[in-house]
Amino acid sequence: MACSLVQFSCFQDLQATRDFLFPHLREETPSGAARQDPSKPAIWADDDWGAWEETESQEPFYQQEEEGTTCKTQKCSWLQDCVLSLSPTNDLMVIAREQKAVFLVPKWKHSDKGKEEMQFAVGWSGSLNVEEGECVTSVLCIPLASQKRSSTGRPDWTCIVVGFTSGYVRFYTENGVLLLAQLLNEDLVLQLKCRTYEIPRHPGVTEQNEELSILYPSAIVTIDGFSLFQSLRACRNQVAKAAASGNENIQPPPLSYKKWGLQDVDTIIDHASVGIMTLSSFDQMKTASNIGGFNAAIKNSPPAMSQYITVGANPFSGFFYALEGSTQPLLSHVALAVASKLTSALFNAASGWLGWKSKHEEEAVQKQKPKVEPATPLAVRFGLPDSRRHGESICLSPCNTLAAATDDFGRVILLDVARGIAIRMWKGYRDAQIGWIQIVEDLHERVPEKVDLSPFGNNQCPSRVAQFLAIYAPRRGILEVWSTQQGPRVGAFNVGKHCRLLYPGYKIMGLNNVTSQNWQPQTYQICLVDPVSGSMKTVNVPFHLALSDKKSQRAKDLHLAKKLAILLKTKSSTPDLLESEIKELILDIKYPATKKQALESILASERLPFSCLRNITQTLMDTLQNQELESVDEGLQQLCANKLKLLHLYESVTKLNSLDLHSSTPFSDDDLAVLLRLDEKELLKLQSLLEKYKQEIARTSVRFSSDKDDTLPVKTFLEHLESENDVINIKKISEEEYVALGSFFFWKCLHGESSTEDMCHTLESAGLSPQLLLSLLLSVWLSKEKDVLDKPQSVCCLHTMISLLSKMKVAIDETWDSQSVSPWWQQMRTACIQSENNGAALLSAHVGHSIAVQISNNLTEKKFSQTVLGADSEGLTDSWEALSLDTEYWKLLLKQLEDCLILQTLLHSKVNTQPSKVSLLQTEPLPKLSVRKLLEGGKGGIADSVAKWIFKQDFNPAVLNLADKERNVENPDEPREGINRGFLEVLEVNMDIGALSDLLHLAYKQFPCSLEQDVLHAHCCWEYVVQWNKDPEEARFLVRSIEHLKHILSAHVQNGIALMMWNTFLVKRFSAATYLMDKVGKSPKERLCRRDVGMSDTAMVSFLGSCLDLLQTLMEADVARDEMQVPVLDTEDAWLSVEGPVSIVELALEQKHIHYPLVEHHSILCWVLCAILKFALKTVKPLSLFDSKGKNAFFKDLTSIQLLPSGEMDPNFISVRQQFLLKVVSAAVQTQHSVAKNEDPSEEAVPTAFERDYNWPVLAVDLAHHLQVSADVVRRHYVGELYSYGVDHLGEEAILQVQDKEVLASQLLVLIGQRLAYVLFHSQTKQGLELLARLSPTLCTWLKAMDTHGLQNTSVPIATTAKLVNKVIELLPENHGQYSLALHLIEAVEAISIPIS
């Protein structure tokens, strides 16, 4: 056992604290980063790249390097410029600099490794200065004890004491609330130190009172701890009351204090308040003789004095003594110095309090500083004069007998407080930081092997206390631990050059000799804060390191233990010599605890052979047995006996495994059937299932080569097992280690290569329970599934081993009967239920069932033989099987395992071999199944597993329906061809149709209820939409989900699933898409779509089409559900005990009825959005087509009753809607019939999911009815667009749907005029001018007024236009105003069509 540096906490974000206290460090980081090339890593700065090339400019480079080094050092060493204080109870930490301070509080959080650890996080931060220009010089965190009787030993709260350059001392709560503030001296505060109550170790030691000491450059102020404790509690209560009542003008009471003016000292840097001391009579007379001479007067009782030690300059260390409780002088010159003001200075009322006032009042008071009481002079008694040496710090030991001081020469000086002399000096520790560690001896470690008659051999004697000095040298980055007073260095740690060593020197304030008896606060002694790693560490020092080598047998033992450790690591060619050396070393060790550690290290060695370990342990055991009983450690002897027992067991098992027996008797299927109690049909079925299962797992699983399964290192064997009270148990080990241990015992036996009877007898006699052996055996069997399935003879070996284990004494309870459940068989069934290797589990269940039936029959036969003759009973037991509760449980388990095996075979299969686009979500492996998982997966667990497999295969939903037709097929030969033909229609090429059909048919047969078509489609629908939600870019997943939804036959299930999909996954994205398109007024670009909707613009097109399909399906299901009955969800008999989450189908059936008009309202909006995206319409805001009622109803719960638009609509809305529909019709006709000059009409874009089934002009007419727009206007516009694009034959068909044909004829006249005008006026030829001359002036004027820019197709034949003119004349009545114009057009068309000669 040696010193150790242990981390007990860390910082959550120390950089944030640094940035708050040092803003210039925070500002340099981003600016420096901005100067670098962002394309390069941060470690390759531009300034460093060309450094070796610029040989001429070395000086600037070095200068820059030095500046960078200085900046880097400043960023790491910033903690050295701060004032730190950590509460000794580790409840609060304060880091302050100048006016700012940060309060850090501990919180329990999970680390990166998954373990809980305590991390300090910022609890409060801000500025503490009240007066302008004052800075923090010293901080203390003092935990205050709770006065409640039910306290757990933790402090009630922690007070923060802060000293300032202005001389003020202020007290704060953990939340930064100012409790009180007082000006004790008009000079800066140099140091704050605290002393808390400690129980005296000896009766002669003076009891020390609690005290807070405040050091100024020429004075020291002490505040009594008891009065301070009461005042702080009162102030805290007053602050709480003031905060509750809102009153801020509360005056806190003054503190009582003593103030001493330190004289005859040039400079004071630090101090230590030793406390009250009483001189012995000899010391009293010696002091009086040295100062007062021969005639000095001496009192009968020595006076009590408070001792103070300072470090600084001239003298380097000064010793001061202040009388306690009396004004009479101890010596004449002391009386002259202090008699005038000693009495009045003991307890003065403080003046000039601040706090609990308004800001303006505080500023007014601060301008007038309060009057400060003068200090009572106190001359230095003596010191250590050294004019060149300047002290920097002093640290008092916990027992107040020693003090360590540092100076500017890099020395650490150890002072004897009582004698006032330096007793030791360490050199080479410049800027050192020091602290003390006090260790109390553990009495149990003092007990030696032999009877010790010395006082220290008695357990009742008091514990000894050792003190160690911790020195941190930042220049060297090393933390050392030294034994005092003249002891050696006992520990050293490399910790870095930027740490801070914290040593509070106090514990909890507010305790006394009564309350501290049972108070055991968890306080630390020293703390090393590392700002680089953000960790907080402490040092653990064993007590025995304080003992010298002559007095400490433990030190000698530790030396032998280290020598043994080195010997175990060295390679030796002669094992016998190594064994003898190890024996000699372990026998020389005296302490039992060290000898235990040595034996454990020997047994944990990997280099020593088994024979060496056995001989060493046996030798040590023999030595202990030859010793006297009183001097033998029982724990060590028991450890040797237990390890020897395990070694003998290891030797026996190794010998049995090395025999290598081979059975020559063949093993047939008939033998297997008899062994498992199966008939020929059941055996063939079992073999068929296992063969399919083997094929699938062989194709999907990967097996790595491993070491021999029957070997196990002795080191590992001893680590896994423990022996106690003649019983061997297994420690908590991993599953792999558990299987390895079981393989060491049983793998040879399962292969028939070792004696099963001998192995079971050996293990039973060693103390292993049959339950433990059964667990090991099953773990090996279930984990080695591939091996046991390839070798059927292993089933016979398993049967033999379980039979032998069942015959052990404590395996099956003797009181077990057929009407109760045996814990033995229940253990085996539980292992099979939990196993994910279903093939091995099914075989082991058959073996267990066979043995259980055999044992049950034997017990029944014994009971039956008591009442009937033996011959009759034999005849009966051969022909019938005894009924028992265990047998029924076995049959249930066999059915469950068979179902699970078939399901697992299906999930392992892969039928789609065509290379296609596969998402990463589809490449994730499916989890393995077990009976336990299916029982805990709820009623929908089976369908959910199959749905995940279907998602992974991604085939057409029609496949499920076609495979389901085999359920009702009576003749399996003829319909198979028809079914396969149906498969060819819906499946891709290269898909194994027969395998898919067989697997699905088998699964449907095993699970007629769980895999019912609607249930399976519902789970598939949900699985696809869940996966789509993970990656919305995979639009085909949502399309496939809607396809499965449409295949659901029950309208109740369909309605519920669709409603859940809408509420859970679609409505939020749908509303985001709506608001985005309404904001931009057009089809949004990809960046906006990804930002608001979470998908690309192309994926959003498909998404809206799927939303439209879902809403349409939802409306259809709502209409159909009234004519259907609610389906009843059944469960297979073997799976009635399932527990777990509610099935998705059950949730769907619980959904409410939708409000049909509201769904229709959303579908209209979806149509609008689809049209905008489909045709890239601009300047269209979808929400502008609806009034306020319509807008408010959007995206509400579809089952709620919303106020929808009704009655006459505002003409302005109708006009906007009509313009939108006309745009849609124009865009649809343009998309379908526009023929660009440079575009091949055969090359058309592949339609998306919602385009291929919809005729947009027809949909526009349908939308016109819902939007209260005249449908005839839309039809007429559609006819006009068709003729404009020259598709006259479609236009003639569309005319039939128009009602107001007169208006249509007028519109078509304009279109005819545009065609003729283009022919006449755009062909500036002589023939064109002659044709124009033949026309009437009226017609010429009308044609000249035509705008031909709106004509989309100008190359329409004149004969086609002639047909259109005739059609218009048919539509116009003769009394129509434009009828004559139509007649003129006929003449014009005829004139144009007749060629000019």
pLDDT of residue 857: 82
For residues 832 and 893, the answer to whether their CB atoms sit within 8 Å is: yes
98-122 average pLDDT score: 83
Report d(CA 715, CA 546) in Å as an integer.
36
Q: Please report, in angstroms and rounded to a whole number, the separation of the first and last CA atoms in the chain.
A: 126
**Residues 265, 218: Cα–Cα separation, whole Å:** 8
Secondary structure (3-state) at 1064: helix
The distance of Cα 178 from the centroid of its chain, to the nearest Å, equals 39
> How many whole angstroms separate alpha carbon 776 and alpha carbon 1378?
103
Q: Give DSSP secondary structure letters for 720-776.
A: HEEEETTEEEE-S--HHHHHHHHHHHHHHHHTT-S-HHHHHHHHHHHT--HHHHHHH
Tokens of 1024: 């696809």
pLDDT at res. 550: 52
d(CA 51, CA 33): 19
What would the pLDDT profile of 617-661 be if each residue is shown by its tens digit? Answer: 999 999 888 887 777 888 888 999 999 999 999 999 999 988 877
SS3 letters across 611-634: HHHHHHHHHHHHHHHHCCHHHCCH
Distance CA 520, CA 525 (A): 14
pLDDT tens by residue, 710-734: 688 999 999 999 998 889 999 988 9
pLDDT-above-90 percentage for the chain: 42
Handedness of CA 971, 972, 977, 982 (dihedral sign): positive
In what order do the strands lie in the sheet containing 168-172? 136-144, 157-164, 168-172, 178-183
Q: Is 1185 exposed, middle or buried (0-12, 13-18, 19+ CB in 10 A)?
A: buried
Q: What is the pLDDT of residues 328-350, one digit of tens each?
A: 333 333 333 333 333 233 333 33
- For residue 919, give the amino acid letter: S
pLDDT of residue 629: 75
Q: What string of H, E and C letters represents the secondary structure of 228-275?
A: HHHHHHHHHHHHHHHHHHCCCCCCCCCCCEEEEEEECCCEEEEEEEEE
Across residues 1222-1251, what is the average pLDDT? Answer: 62
Looking at residue 961, its pLDDT comes to 80
Instruction: Measure the CA–CA gap between 824 and 808, rounded to whole angstroms.
Output: 11
pTM score, two decimals?
Answer: 0.66
CB 632 within 8 A of CB 624: yes
Q: Among 283-292, 675-684, 860-869, whose mean pLDDT is lowest? A: 860-869
Instruction: For residue 307, list its beta bridge partners.
Output: 275, 321
In degrees rounded to 5, what are phi and psi of residue 1297? Answer: -85, -15
Give the residue from 183, 1053, 142 showing the smallest Cα distance to 511: 142
CB 181 within 8 A of CB 354: yes
Task: Classify residue 862 by burial, with Cβ atoms within 10 Å: 0-12, 13-18, 19+.
Answer: exposed
- Check whether 150 has a pLDDT greater than 70: no
Residue from 563, 642, 561 nearest 595 by CA: 561
Average pLDDT over residues 441-454: 51
**Single-letter amino acid code for the residue at 159:** C
Place of tokens 């030796």: 572
d(CA 156, CA 508): 10
Q: Which of 1057-1071, 1169-1183, 1199-1213, 1261-1275 has the highest mean pLDDT?
A: 1057-1071
Confidence of residue 100 (pLDDT cuts 50, 70, 90): very high
Question: What pLDDT was estimated at residue 743?
Answer: 92
Whether residue 1252 is predicted with pLDDT greater than 80 in this model: the reply is no
The pLDDT, as a whole number, for residue 442 is 75
Q: Say which residues have a Cβ less than 8 Å from residue 324's Cβ, sequence separation at least 6.
A: 276, 303, 304, 305, 306
pLDDT for 46 equals 37
Kind plus residue range of the DSSP H or E element containing 1044? helix 1035-1046
**Rounded Cα–Cα distance for residues 728 and 745 (Å):** 14
Side chain identity, residue 1390: E
Q: Is the pLDDT of residue 403 over 70?
A: yes
Q: Average pLDDT over the chain, rounded to whole?
A: 81
Around Cβ 292, how many Cβ atoms within 10 Å? Answer: 15
How many C-beta atoms surround the C-beta of residue 62 within 10 A?
A: 11
Average pLDDT over residues 599-613: 90
Task: Return the pLDDT at 521.
Answer: 61
Structure-token match 């859940």, residue found:
1060
In this prediction, residue 114 carries a pLDDT of: 61
Q: Choose among 589, 614, 590: nearest CA to 603.
A: 614
Range picked from 193-197, 364-368, 1334-1338 for highest mean pLDDT: 193-197
Where b means 16+ CB within 10 Å and e means fewer, 632-657 reads bbeebbebbebbbbbbebbebbbebb
Average pLDDT over residues 666-673: 80
At residue 430, does pLDDT exceed 90? yes
Task: Please report which residue ranges of 104-224 form alpha helices under DSSP H.
Answer: none
| DSSP string across 575-594 | HHHHHHHHHHHHHH---HHH
Q: What's the rounded mean pLDDT across residues 1011-1037? A: 94
Question: Largest Cα–Cα distance of the chain, in whole Å?
Answer: 165
pLDDT interval class at 152 (50, 70, 90): low
Q: What is the mean pLDDT of residues 969-994?
A: 46
Query: Residue 1144 — φ and ψ, nearest 5°?
Result: -65, -30
pLDDT tens-place string over residues 771-804? 999 999 999 999 988 888 888 888 999 999 999 9
Average pLDDT over residues 508-523: 73
DSSP per-residue codes, 1205-1261: --SSPPHHHHHHHHHHHHHHHHHHHHHHH---TT--TT--PPP-TTTTT--HHHHHH
Q: Which residue has the higher pLDDT, 1034 or 344?
A: 1034
Provide mean pLDDT across the span 412-438: 93
> What pLDDT is attached to residue 871?
46
Cβ-count burial of 886 within 10 angstroms (0-12 exposed, 13-18 middle, 19+ buried)? buried
Q: What is the pLDDT of residues 1364-1378, one digit of tens each?
A: 888 888 888 877 777
Q: How confident is the model at residue 945 (pLDDT cuts 50, 70, 90)?
A: very high
Mean pLDDT over residues 403-428, rounded? 94
Q: Summarize pLDDT for 1279-1331 with one digit per residue, the tens.
A: 888 888 888 888 888 888 888 888 888 888 888 788 887 877 776 555 556 66
Q: Which residues contact 1142 (CB under 8 A, 6 or more apart)?
A: 938, 939, 940
The answer to whether 749 and 777 have CB atoms below 8 angstroms apart is no
User: What are the pLDDT digits (tens) for 457-472?
Assistant: 344 567 788 999 999 9
Q: Does residue 144 contact residue 157 with C-beta atoms inside 8 Å?
A: yes
Q: Say if residue 1322 is exposed, middle or buried (CB neighbours under 10 Å; 0-12, 13-18, 19+).
A: exposed
Question: Which phi-psi region, left, alpha or beta, contains residue 163 (left: φ > 0; alpha: ψ -120 to 50)?
Answer: beta
pLDDT for res 664: 58
pLDDT in tens, 1149-1162: 999 999 999 999 99
Res 981 pLDDT > 60: no
Amino acid at 812: I
Least confident of 65-79, 561-575, 855-869: 65-79
3-state secondary structure of 393: strand
- Of 741, 757, 738, 761, nearest to 749 by C-alpha is 757
pLDDT value of position 149: 63
